[in-house]
Amino acid sequence: MREIKPLQINGYLGREEITSHLQNVEYIVMAAPSMLDAPRLPIHFTIFLNTSDPIPEPIKAAVFEKFCTEHAITATSDLLFEPGRVAFARTSQETPMPRHLLDPAEANMIPWVALQVIDFLGDSSEFKEVKEGFSGWSYSYC
């Protein structure tokens, strides 16, 4: 069994750096093992859409369905689709790690931008590494 080491956060992008970083980014998909005790679905997905504009409910459903189809996500639960505060952490990885800031106190200390966040539990055969305990993210550019 491989040893899994947590990523070290080496700081966060400033607000201007975030704006520059997000140029030409369409969305970011993040996948991590579910942290729930005995989860019914093994993967915690977070999709960050590079917009803070309101999205009508019918469009939200179509966007969510598109992501599930593109990533072979076969089951989902606990869907949250709303604007959120997103910071970008510097790590040893090539691209900054997006972080959905839920704690208002933390959001007062870390630069962030508002993005549409799709957060849910799911399952997919395309995310074998996540089922082995690894987390990761992928940027999609327009």
Percentage of residues of the chain with pLDDT beyond 70: 96
* Average pLDDT of the residues in 37-54: 92
Q: How confident is the model at residue 39 (pLDDT cuts 50, 70, 90)?
A: confident
Q: Is residue 4 part of a domain?
A: no
Q: Is residue 1 part of a domain?
A: no
Q: Which residue has the higher pLDDT, 5 or 72?
A: 72
* Average pLDDT of the residues in 84-99: 96
Contact yes or no for 141/26 (Cβ under 8 A): yes
The residue segments making up the domain with residue 33 are 15-141
Give the pLDDT score at 4: 59
Q: Is residue 109 part of a domain?
A: yes
Give the pLDDT score at 1: 47
Read out DSSP for 31-67? EEE--SSS-SS-EEEEEEES--S---HHHHHHHHHHH
E-assigned strand segments in the chain:
25-33, 43-49, 73-89, 97-101, 113-124, 136-141
Question: Does the predicted model carry a pTM greater than 0.85?
Answer: yes
Domains identified in the chain, total number:
1
Q: Is residue 120 part of a domain?
A: yes
Q: Is residue 20 part of a domain?
A: yes
Q: How confident is the model at residue 7 (pLDDT cuts 50, 70, 90)?
A: confident
Q: Which range has the top average pLDDT, 97-101, 127-131, 132-136?
A: 97-101
Which tokens sit at 141? 């550019």
Q: Is residue 121 part of a domain?
A: yes
Q: Could you report the per-residue pLDDT of 98-129, keeping only the tens digit for each?
A: 999 999 999 999 999 999 999 999 999 999 99
* Average pLDDT of the residues in 45-55: 97
Q: Is residue 137 part of a domain?
A: yes
Q: Is residue 98 part of a domain?
A: yes
Give the pLDDT score at 53: 96
Query: Rounded to whole angstroms, how far apart are CA atoms 80 and 87?
Result: 18
